[in-house]
Amino acid sequence: NAGVTQTPKFQVLKTGQSMTLQCAQDMNHNSMYWYRQDPGMGLRLIYYSASEGTTDKGEVPNGYNVSRLNKREFSLRLESAAPSQTSVYFCASVFGANVLTFGAGSRLTVL
């Protein structure tokens, strides 16, 4: 099925460990985004990529890095995980008129 695929769905890390969340879309969308969702705070933008080869910071980029590997893939890396990064992470992509298509989410717990 066409859409946005995120891996892994669940991950538990210890403080200081690193990991990469993977996101791939097969809809030929130009723009891709990473959001985090925390209770009572809605979704907050971490990083986005307007097109292949470009990335920009969003509202809450500290502690994260991203790579737009090609048009399909946009990964989010935590170099040294902290408990404050415990969250549900959503990848999304869009073409044109801002109708974002979301992945199913990746639930990350940092102990």
Partner 1 sequence: AQSVTQLGSHVSVSEGALVLLRCNYSSSVPPYLFWYVQYPNQGLQLLLKYTTGATLVKGINGFEAEFKKSETSFHLTKPSAHMSDAAEYFCAVSDGEGRRALTFGSGTRLQVQP
19 vs 43 by CB, closer to partner 1: 43
Contact segment (CB under 8 A) with partner 1 among 20-28, 60-68, 69-77, 97-105 equals 97-105
- CA pair distance 104, 92, nearest whole angstrom: 10
- The only residue of 11, 20, 45, 55 in contact with partner 1, by rule CB under 8 A: 45
Q: With binding defined as CB under 8 A, does residue 27 bind partner 1?
A: no
Rounded Cα–Cα distance for residues 3 and 28 (Å): 10
Q: How far is CA 22 from CA 6, 14, 62, 72, 97, in A?
A: 6, 19, 18, 11, 25
Q: Which residues contact partner 1 by CB under 8 A?
A: 4, 31, 33, 35, 40-45, 48, 50, 58, 90, 92, 94, 96-100, 102-105
